[in-house]
Chain A
Amino acid sequence: MSSRVCRTCGGSDIDVDQARGSAVCTSCGSVLEDNIIVSEVQFVEGSGGVSSAVGQFVSADGPVKAPLLGSGFHTSVGKESRAQTLQGGKRQIQQLGSQLQLNQHCLDTAFNFFKMVVSKHLTRGRKTEHVIAACLYLVCRTEGTPHMLLDLSDLLQVNVYILGKTFLLLARELCINAPAIDPCLYIPRFAHMLEFGVKTHEVSMTALRLVQRMKRDWMHTGRRPSGLCGAALLVAARMHKFRRTVKDVISVVKVCQTTLRKRLTEFEDTPTSQLTIDEFMKVDLEQECDPPSFIAAQHKAKMQQLEQELARKLDDVEGEISCYKDEIETELEKSRPKLRGIYAAYAKEIDPEEAEVLSSTSDPEEQEVEDDELQAATQHLTQDFLCQVIQEEEGRGKKTDDNEVEAGPDMEGAGSQRQAAPLAAILGKLPSAASLGLQQTLDESETGEKPDDEQSEGGELDLDGIDDQEIDKYILNEKEVQVKTELWMKQNADYLKEQKEKEERIKKEKEQGTYKEKPKKSKKKKEQIQASTAGEAIERMLEKKKISSKINYDVLRDLNRGGTGSGGGSSPSRASSDPPNTNTTARKRLNRRRRKKANDTNRDLAANASIMGKSQSLQLPSSSPVEPASSCGSRWVVVCLDQLG
Chain B
Amino acid sequence: MDSSNDEALDIIITNVVATFRTRCHLNLRTIALEGTNVIYKPEVGKVLMKLRKPKITASIWSSGKIICTGATSEDDAKLGARRLARVLQKLGFKVRFSAFKVVNVLAVCSMPFAIHLIDFTKNNRPIASYEPELHPAATYRIKHLKATIQVFSTGSITVTGPNVQNVATAVEQVYPLLFEVQKPLKKKEKS
Verify that A and B bind, or say they do not: yes
Q: Are A475 and B90 in contact (CB under 8 A)?
A: yes
Give complex CA distance A287, B184 in Å.
12
Give min CB distance, A152 to chain B, whole Å: 11
Q: Are A438 and B9 in contact (CB under 8 A)?
A: yes
> How many residues in A have their beta carbons less than 8 Å from beta carbons of B?
73
Q: Are A465 and B82 in contact (CB under 8 A)?
A: yes
Q: Does B106 contact A (CB under 8 A)?
A: no
Query: Which B residues from 16 to 65 make CB contacts under 8 A with A?
Result: 23, 32-37, 40, 42, 51, 53
Query: Which B residues from 143 to 181 make CB contacts under 8 A with A?
Result: 152-155, 163-165, 168
Q: Are A161 and B165 in contact (CB under 8 A)?
A: no
* Residue of B whose beta carbon sits closest to that of A227: B132
Q: Does B11 contact A (CB under 8 A)?
A: yes
Identify which of B1, B99, B126 contacts A442 (C-beta below 8 A).
B1
> Which residues in A have their C-beta under 8 angstroms from that of B79?
465-466
> Which among B40, B97, B186 has the highest number of chain A CB atoms within 10 Å?
B97
Q: Are B191 and A481 in contact (CB under 8 A)?
A: no
Q: Are A218 and B114 in contact (CB under 8 A)?
A: yes
Give complex CA distance A180, B123 in Å.
12
* Residue of A whose beta carbon sits closest to that of B109: A438
Identify which of B13, B40, B95, B186 contacts A288 (C-beta below 8 A).
B186
- Stretch of A308-316, A360-368, A484-492 at the chain-chain interface: A484-492
Q: Does B89 contact A (CB under 8 A)?
A: yes
Q: Are A475 and B87 in contact (CB under 8 A)?
A: yes
* Residue of B whose beta carbon sits closest to that of A180: B118
Q: Does A73 contact B (CB under 8 A)?
A: no
Q: Per-residue 0/1 for A447-465: is the Cβ within 8 Å of any B Cβ (1 yes, 0 no)?
A: 0110001011111111101
Give complex CA distance A114, B53 in Å.
54
Give complex CA distance A446, B51 in Å.
25
Give complex CA distance A225, B185 in Å.
24
> Which residues in A have their C-beta under 8 angstroms from that of B130?
180
> Which among B51, B132, B153, B191 has the highest number of chain A CB atoms within 10 Å?
B132
* Residue of B whose beta carbon sits closest to that of A495: B42
> Which residues in A have their C-beta under 8 angstroms from that of B122?
180
Q: Does A148 contact B (CB under 8 A)?
A: yes
Give complex CA distance A291, B155 in Å.
10
Q: Does A81 contact B (CB under 8 A)?
A: no
Q: Are A293 and B154 in contact (CB under 8 A)?
A: yes
> Which residues in A have their C-beta under 8 angstroms from that of B83?
466, 470-471
> Which residues in A have their C-beta under 8 angstroms from that of B11?
438, 441-442
Identify which of B91, B97, B165 contacts A462 (C-beta below 8 A).
B97
* Residue of B whose beta carbon sits closest to that of A287: B186
Q: Are B97 and A431 in contact (CB under 8 A)?
A: no
Q: Are B82 and A462 in contact (CB under 8 A)?
A: yes
Give complex CA distance A167, B99 in Å.
38
> Which residues in A have their C-beta under 8 angstroms from that of B10?
434, 437-438, 441
Q: Does A223 contact B (CB under 8 A)?
A: yes
Using known A-B contacts A160-B134, A164-B134, A222-B136, determine if residue A461 contacts B152 with beta carbons closer than 8 Å.
Answer: no
Q: Are A475 and B189 in contact (CB under 8 A)?
A: no
Q: Per-residue 0/1 for A256-298: is the Cβ within 8 Å of any B Cβ (1 yes, 0 no)?
A: 0000000000000101000000000000000111110111010
Q: Does A32 contact B (CB under 8 A)?
A: no
Q: Are A290 and B185 in contact (CB under 8 A)?
A: yes
> Which residues in B have their C-beta under 8 angstroms from that of A618?
none
Q: Are B189 and A291 in contact (CB under 8 A)?
A: no
Using known A-B contacts A160-B133, A180-B122, determine if residue A438 contacts B33 with beta carbons closer than 8 Å.
Answer: no
Give min CB distance, B43 to chain A, whole Å: 8
Using known A-B contacts A288-B186, A484-B33, determine if residue A225 contacts B133 with beta carbons closer than 8 Å.
Answer: yes
Q: Are A181 and B133 in contact (CB under 8 A)?
A: yes
B contact residues, range: 35 or more
Q: Are A449 and B154 in contact (CB under 8 A)?
A: no
Q: Does A224 contact B (CB under 8 A)?
A: yes
> Which residues in A have their C-beta under 8 angstroms from that of B34?
475-476, 481, 484
Q: Are B116 and A221 in contact (CB under 8 A)?
A: yes
Q: Does A445 contact B (CB under 8 A)?
A: yes
Q: Are B37 and A294 in contact (CB under 8 A)?
A: no
Q: Are B36 and A221 in contact (CB under 8 A)?
A: no
Give min CB distance, A262 to chain B, whole Å: 13
Identify which of A222, A434, A445, A460 contacts B164 (C-beta below 8 A).
A445
Give complex CA distance A471, B125 in Å.
52
Interface of A is mostly: helix
Q: Are B132 and A297 in contact (CB under 8 A)?
A: no
Q: Are B168 and A222 in contact (CB under 8 A)?
A: no
Using known A-B contacts A294-B154, A297-B154, A455-B97, determine if residue A289 contacts B186 with beta carbons closer than 8 Å.
Answer: yes
Give min CB distance, B75 to chain A, whole Å: 5
Give min CB distance, A420 to chain B, whole Å: 17
Give complex CA distance A327, B190 in Å.
36
Q: Per-residue 0/1 for B93-116: is the Cβ within 8 Å of any A Cβ (1 yes, 0 no)?
A: 001111111000000000000101
Q: Are A431 and B7 in contact (CB under 8 A)?
A: yes
Q: Are A445 and B168 in contact (CB under 8 A)?
A: yes
Q: Does A172 contact B (CB under 8 A)?
A: yes
> Which residues in B have their C-beta under 8 angstroms from that of A224?
132-133
Q: Does A93 contact B (CB under 8 A)?
A: no
Give complex CA distance A488, B41 in Å.
12
Give complex CA distance A461, B129 in Å.
44
Q: Does B69 contact A (CB under 8 A)?
A: no
* Residue of A whose beta carbon sits closest to that of B10: A438
Query: Which A residues from 4 to 42 make CB contacts under 8 A with B?
Result: none
Q: Does A149 contact B (CB under 8 A)?
A: yes
Using known A-B contacts A437-B10, A439-B8, determine if residue A164 contacts B86 with beta carbons closer than 8 Å.
Answer: no
Q: Are B183 and A218 in contact (CB under 8 A)?
A: yes
> Which residues in A have their C-beta under 8 angstroms from that of B164?
445, 448-449
Q: Does A57 contact B (CB under 8 A)?
A: no
Identify which of A161, A290, A393, A485 contacts B114 (C-beta below 8 A).
A290
* Residue of B whose beta carbon sits closest to that of A296: B154
Q: Are A453 and B32 in contact (CB under 8 A)?
A: no
Q: Does A3 contact B (CB under 8 A)?
A: no
Identify which of A271, A289, A462, A488 contacts B40 (C-beta below 8 A).
A488
> Which residues in B have their C-beta under 8 angstroms from that of A157?
none
> Which among A446, A448, A459 has the highest number of chain B CB atoms within 10 Å?
A459
Give min CB distance, A529 to chain B, whole Å: 32
* Residue of A whose beta carbon sits closest to that of B32: A488
Q: Does A150 contact B (CB under 8 A)?
A: yes
Query: Which A residues from 155 to 192 make CB contacts under 8 A with B?
Result: 160-161, 164, 167-168, 171-172, 175, 177, 180-181
> Which residues in A have their C-beta under 8 angstroms from that of B116?
221
Give min CB distance, A291 to chain B, whole Å: 6
Give complex CA distance A492, B41 in Å.
11
Using known A-B contacts A168-B131, A224-B133, A290-B114, determine if residue A463 contacts B86 with beta carbons closer than 8 Å.
Answer: yes
Identify which of A149, A221, A453 contacts B118 (C-beta below 8 A).
A221
Q: Does B15 contact A (CB under 8 A)?
A: no
**Which 5 pairs of residues, A with B, have the shortest CB-CB distance?**
A222-B136, A459-B96, A221-B153, A164-B134, A459-B98
Query: Besides A172-B129, A221-B118, 11 other CB < 8 A contacts?
Result: A180-B118, A223-B136, A434-B10, A438-B8, A442-B11, A445-B164, A456-B100, A459-B98, A463-B86, A475-B36, A481-B34
- 5 of the cross-chain contacts (CB-CB < 8 Å) are A393-B189, A445-B74, A470-B83, A471-B86, A481-B33
